[in-house]
Structure 1
Amino acid sequence: MNNFLPVNQKDMYERGWEQPDFVYISGDAYVDHPSFGASIITRVLEAKGYKVAVLSQPDWHGTKDFEQFGKPRLGYFISSGNIDSMVAHYTVAKKPRSVDAYTAGGQMGKRPDRAVIVYSNIVKQLYPDVPVIIGGLEASLRRFAHYDYWDDAVRPSILLDSKADLLIFGMGENQTIEIAERLNNGESVDTMHDILGTVYAVDTKDTPYVGVECPSFENVCSSKKEYSKAARIEQDEQDHIRGKVIKQKHGKKMVVQNQPMPPLTTKELDWVYSLPYMRAYHPMYEAQGGVPGIQEVEFSITHNRGCFGACNFCSIAFHQGRYITTRSKKSIMIEAEKLTHMPNFKGYIHDIGGPTANFRQPSCMLQEEHGLCKGKKCLAPKPCKNLVANHEEYLDILRSVRQLPGIKKVFIRSGIRYDYLLQDKDDSFFRELVKYHVSGQLKVAPEHCSAAVLDKMGKPHIEAYIEFSKRYFQYTGEIDKEQYLVPYLMSSHPGSTLNDAIDLALFLKKNHIRPEQVQDFYPTPGTISTTMFYTGLDPYTMEEVYSAKNPHDKALQRALLQYYNPKNFALVEEALKKAKRFDLIGTDPKCLVRPQNSAHQKQGTGRNNGKNNNRNNKNRQNFAPKKQNKYGRKKKSR
């Protein structure tokens, strides 16, 4: 018997169990690593003394897989896995993906669309009297009526569609423990209407008097203005200190969200990460080549949760929250030392990070008593005057970990908020980041250069990125290294017009940035940006917001960001003509593309032809210690 939790009836009997207390159903392959939510929740339940079986990727075309453990004594926990099942299955163009990173061998088709709904309905048919609790990202982000990009329509709360008894939103350890204890004590799940961080449904006549009510499912379906109002309320009350109960009527049912569960304390986080994870995929996947999703995180360490950056297109603030909680240095050191004894460890820790790697403390002291500010951002469009930027503790941890025997290098691969970094008057972390923690290239996310677009994204203006890039290349030069910046960029975000996309293309050309990959905006549930995409309104101002929705319009914006690629020449020319920017079509160095009827077409576009300069590949800004321009990029020889 291995040390993974039981995955089938045979495993259960080998442990001497006749019946599990809980069955955890997941849309992902079973990977017992603390970067996987299913692993954390199942280990937490096990640590509290419960018998937990893991049912990964059951065949939903029948009921055999769901019946193999029999009827659990206490209940089911159900999740689609680490990401929303629709995002796992489809690209932003709504085309089926070819690889599922959370399935053995990357194989597609091992989970259904809308996995939480499918799994939950099957269980409810088989064992209607057994409590079903849904959670994870898919359930958390769909807890209210929400715009669904794949249906291009508003869907009701997933709690109702799934017929589950209770929904856990956010990080669910303490909710899970409380639910399990109360079920074990004989309490009916129907009475559990007071657990923080959960959502339940009651008949409208039983609606609680407390809290705030947002526009109903029927109203948000019929009015985009009402949808925007609801979205703002839902976002504004996601604070564990000042957040209120939120209610949303769905026909004869009232969906009720309790206040968020307070984030885990440092002591609680340390305990969660001390549990006996195998830090590997289950051996049953070995024949298929393992589970690709573990490769990036196998030798990574999570040190924090939450993100006060709260970009409008990101779901972290709505799921994890904006408040920062962290593990202790001791806990991180214990995990790092443990990695050095793993058989495949080569001396490289791939990341010590989290949602945002360089957040180790609340953004200001006021939020400790009052919560994070409603309707405001800590960093955008400019850093708040109350912001406290300090990297001392994080730097101390990095220094200590890289001194451990057996560790050659510690990289930081999760996001660095460079705008926050710039606010720290002590540049020690910045310098050591460049010297010790960059694996040849550092990924950061300016996303765009247009102030209007960045405002809709909830991001800082491009001047912050320019300043960061200057200092990055300066510090890199001082240690005589050749390193790169990889700027993440997004096309077609709400607010981005064709002219904004052209401005971004010109910015990229001026700074010799050639992105090999560009993320087209993906309207996922539960974000402010998705609300703007669907309604055409900014929920905080009710001003109209343009969004490129037509696939061809989106293709024009995307092509502009890769104007140098021969396959995009025709689209780039079309976009420039549509915007009446004929000055950018031609042979002049300032132009983005040659006329497509030009005799030079077959040969590319001169020095911007299809043969990419290798120094600019992979979205990189290169550094050379001599002949820098003002953005740190090497000047071209003439």
Structure 2
Amino acid sequence: MNGGFLPVSRKEMKERGWDQVDFVYISGDAYVDHPSFGHAIITRLLESRGYRVGIIAQPDWKTPDSVTVFGEPRLGFLVSAGNMDSMVNHYSVSKKRRKTDAYTPGGVMGKRPDYACVVYGNLIRQTYKKTPVILGGIEASLRRMAHYDYWSDKLKRSLLLDSGADILSYGMGEHSIIEIAEALDAGIPVEEITYINGTVVKAKNLDSVYDAEILPSFEELKADRLTYARSFYTQYLNTDAFNGKRLVEPYSDYLYVVQNPPALPLTEIEMDDIYSLPYMRTYHPSYEALGGVPAISEIRFSLISNRGCFGGCSFCALTFHQGRIIQTRSHQSLLDEARQITKEKDFKGYIHDVGGPTANFRHPSCKKQLKYGVCKNRQCLFPAPCKNLNADHSDYVRLLKELRAIPKVKKVFIRSGIRFDYLLKEEDRTFLRELCEYHVSGQLKVAPEHVAAPVLSLMGKPEHKVYEQFTEEFYKMNKKIGKKQYLVPYLMSSHPGSTLKEAVELAEYCRDLGYMPEQVQDFYPTPSTLSTCMYYTGVDPRTMKPVYVPKSPHEKAMQRALIQYRNPELYDLVSEALHKAGRTDLIGFGPKCLIRPRKFADQKKNEREKNSSQKKKSIRNVHRKK
């Protein structure tokens, strides 16, 4: 096995003594050889099995020659939009173009196309008509079947069809990519590789498709949003590797999209093997002159300890992508990587995170899951924790202690988020004490998301009283150990189910807390989440009951402004929202009021502008005297 980065040019391929690569990996991200990047894991895994892989990162999609760097690969092209859906990467929730891209050298925006998988797939097909093309990554995973696309406000076909690809690998992809590679290497035509779990394929007929559930056709889904809601929920119930069914989505009498059951979760040994591959742990040196790749700073000194999430938040796509069964690395694997991190020249003694989708999930939520899978019609934590829930944090506590004991490690932080309702199910509060005493950097970010019961229920989040209990216990623990640390709650506006009434309730909570967030996250309808299905269809697909959906930009602006009611620039929006909600009792001078009456507010605004003007004038005079 060669050391160093994988080849990114024909010259580097030749330097390795190769005349041809087995696979060309095309990515919407810059080439960062670190296990937090999907392209690094898949390419290193293939390399470990003896395959020759070349990487084309961020090709110029306007130039067909950009995908011919290595010539035709022996086995196929692998295509990914990158670590993010390309549309989320490019646009804010208000559909405004973002100014920077953390996954591009120098943070430059515009180095990947919109709908990157579709564009890259068709770009390949312009030159290589028959070469196998396999899609992977989160964009492909979450768009594998018919899906609502927020940016075009349309129901779109499976990405497999629009991209011209042959196979779509969904989920994290380690199992399926090796099976695909071995099948291609054995000479099996790509159109016959239809049987691999964790993949989506095309079929001209269903003669060889067995044990499948037939979903409504794409035409039926387009014609009726309620039909789409039912179809989506069927997909949602079949995301488990142990009990998920094969699903078929018809597009015509001679075209079907077949989703095979999910791939099995990785074992601890498999996870350890994945993270012990010879990553360079940084971006390709060719990016140095451009300023490097900003995203590396977020993960360079962090450890991924788990995958999967049984939290069940409706607005999160992890159920679709990583599944609900927790997969973990061994302590030894994590300690080895931590020691490797301490040897890096810029390491200052701080491990920034030890976690994953949810940091304090270190084992499956109950014992039966690795034999029977997760419950189809029940969540582990919602609406209340299951009686079979195993909330033991002892393994995580032990891991954190071992990491703290490594020479050169000053502090180990937990930043990837904890599930507070899960924490509260541990009876002795050992983890809470460890968390407060050793792993908080003054502020702990948590995600209650909202306070209103109707919204929390649709979000799949615990009742607000659970968060209040956690808040009380957090501050009590900090007082006990003699520390002053604070909670920073993440709050979301405009989620399905939130009317102005619920938005006002959230604003009152911020008032009582004495907290005004600098930034508020509007609900973002990303592909293949329960919440996005609610947004598109107007019903909760779990119950088929109608759901109020705030869609107009103006109403969304009002809901967001209510949470930031102290900002004088948002006065008009807050005032309008309070009038529309019938809550003018919150306009006045009382301690519970959110804003002052207009005349007084204008007077205060004029005073601020006058003071600001005088301050600027004073500064100019000082400069003149100098």
Maintained 8 Å contact 2:43/2:53: yes
1:87-137 CA-to-partner distances (Å, cap 9, x unmatched) read 000000001000111111110010000000100111122111211000100
1:508/1:599 Cα in 2 relative to 1: closer, same or farther (>3 Å)? closer
1:423 aligns with 2:425: yes
1:244 corresponds to: 245
Query: Structure 1 stretches (4+) deviating beyond 3 angstroms?
Result: 204-207, 604-607
1:181 and 1:369 mapped to 2: Cα distance? Answer: 27
1:428-485 CA-to-partner distances (Å, cap 9, x unmatched) read 1110100100112111100000111001001101111111111111111222222121
2:65 and 2:368 mapped to 1: Cα distance? Answer: 54
> Which residues of 2 match residues 466-615 of structure 1 at below 5 A?
466-596=468-598, 598-603=599-604
Maintained 8 Å contact 1:207/1:254: no
478-487 or 115-124, which moves further after superposition? 478-487
Q: Which runs of 5+ in 2 are unaligned?
A: 613-626
1:278 aligns to what SS in structure 2? coil
Maintained 8 Å contact 2:64/2:126: no
Maintained 8 Å contact 2:455/2:498: yes
2:619 corresponds to: none
7-16 or 451-460, which moves further after superposition? 7-16
CA drift at 1:171: 1.1
2:75 corresponds to: 74
2:110 aligns to what SS in structure 1? coil
1:413 and 1:57 mapped to 2: Cα distance? Answer: 29
> Which residues of 2 match residues 137-286 of structure 1 at below 5 A?
137-206=138-207, 208-251=209-252, 252-286=254-288
> Which residues of 2 match residues 18-29 of structure 1 at below 5 A?
18-29=19-30
1:295 aligns to what SS in structure 2? helix
201-210 or 552-561, which moves further after superposition? 201-210
Match of 1:360 among 334, 359, 362: 362
1:27-59 CA-to-partner distances (Å, cap 9, x unmatched) read 001111101111100100111111100100000
1:375 and 1:214 mapped to 2: Cα distance? Answer: 19
Q: Which runs of 5+ in 1 are unaligned?
A: 612-638
1:253/1:402 Cα in 2 relative to 1: closer, same or farther (>3 Å)? same
2:444 aligns to what SS in structure 1? strand
2:92 and 2:455 mapped to 1: Cα distance? Answer: 23
1:372 corresponds to: 374
Partner AA of 1:399 in structure 2: K
Maintained 8 Å contact 2:312/2:382: no
Maintained 8 Å contact 2:311/2:380: yes
1:392-424 CA-to-partner distances (Å, cap 9, x unmatched) read 001000000100111010000001001000000
1:629 corresponds to: none
1:464 aligns with 2:434: no
1:459/1:390 Cα in 2 relative to 1: closer, same or farther (>3 Å)? same
2:423 and 2:335 mapped to 1: Cα distance? Answer: 24
1:619 corresponds to: none
Maintained 8 Å contact 2:160/2:168: yes
CA drift at 1:233: 0.5
1:488 aligns to what SS in structure 2? strand
Maintained 8 Å contact 1:306/1:320: yes
2:43 corresponds to: 42
1:527/1:600 Cα in 2 relative to 1: closer, same or farther (>3 Å)? closer
CA drift at 1:64: 2.0
1:555 and 1:529 mapped to 2: Cα distance? Answer: 19
Maintained 8 Å contact 2:447/2:489: yes
1:197 and 1:519 mapped to 2: Cα distance? Answer: 32
2:623 corresponds to: none
2:208 and 2:219 mapped to 1: Cα distance? Answer: 17
1:446 corresponds to: 448
Partner AA of 2:57 in structure 1: S
Maintained 8 Å contact 1:528/1:539: yes
Maintained 8 Å contact 2:307/2:357: yes
CA drift at 1:63: 1.5
1:111 aligns with 2:108: no
Partner AA of 1:489 in structure 2: L
After superposition, the CA RMSD in angstroms is: 1.6
2:622 corresponds to: none
CA drift at 1:250: 1.2
509-518 or 105-114, which moves further after superposition? 509-518
Maintained 8 Å contact 1:281/1:291: yes
Partner AA of 1:437 in structure 2: H
2:376 aligns to what SS in structure 1? coil
1:95 corresponds to: 96
> Which residues of 2 match residues 617-628 of structure 1 at below 5 A?
none
2:244 and 2:18 mapped to 1: Cα distance? Answer: 42
> Which residues of 2 match residues 407-422 of structure 1 at below 5 A?
407-422=409-424
1:386 corresponds to: 388
CA drift at 1:383: 0.9
2:9 and 2:336 mapped to 1: Cα distance? Answer: 32
Percent identity reads: 55
1:620 corresponds to: none
1:562 and 1:336 mapped to 2: Cα distance? Answer: 40
1:255 aligns to what SS in structure 2? strand
Maintained 8 Å contact 1:214/1:229: no
1:331-356 CA-to-partner distances (Å, cap 9, x unmatched) read 11111111111111111100110011
Maintained 8 Å contact 1:583/1:591: yes
1:55 aligns with 2:56: yes
> Which residues of 2 match residues 268-307 of structure 1 at below 5 A?
268-307=270-309
1:81 and 1:591 mapped to 2: Cα distance? Answer: 47
1:277-303 CA-to-partner distances (Å, cap 9, x unmatched) read 111111111111111111110010101
Match of 1:349 among 351, 356, 359: 351
> Which residues of 2 match residues 392-411 of structure 1 at below 5 A?
392-411=394-413
Partner AA of 2:58 in structure 1: Q
2:370 and 2:180 mapped to 1: Cα distance? Answer: 27
1:567/1:375 Cα in 2 relative to 1: closer, same or farther (>3 Å)? farther
1:15 corresponds to: 16
147-156 or 373-382, which moves further after superposition? 373-382
1:206 and 1:566 mapped to 2: Cα distance? Answer: 66
1:479 and 1:353 mapped to 2: Cα distance? Answer: 24
2:537 and 2:404 mapped to 1: Cα distance? Answer: 49
2:484 and 2:569 mapped to 1: Cα distance? Answer: 30
Maintained 8 Å contact 2:250/2:257: yes
Maintained 8 Å contact 2:4/2:280: yes
1:148-179 CA-to-partner distances (Å, cap 9, x unmatched) read 00110100000000010000000101111111
2:182 and 2:95 mapped to 1: Cα distance? Answer: 42
CA drift at 1:253: 1.0
1:624 corresponds to: none
Maintained 8 Å contact 2:365/2:389: yes
1:204 and 1:225 mapped to 2: Cα distance? Answer: 27
CA drift at 1:595: 2.1
Maintained 8 Å contact 1:347/1:407: yes
579-588 or 416-425, which moves further after superposition? 579-588
1:369 and 1:31 mapped to 2: Cα distance? Answer: 36
Maintained 8 Å contact 2:141/2:171: yes
Maintained 8 Å contact 2:56/2:69: no
1:606 and 1:49 mapped to 2: Cα distance? Answer: 72
1:229-249 CA-to-partner distances (Å, cap 9, x unmatched) read 111001001111111001111
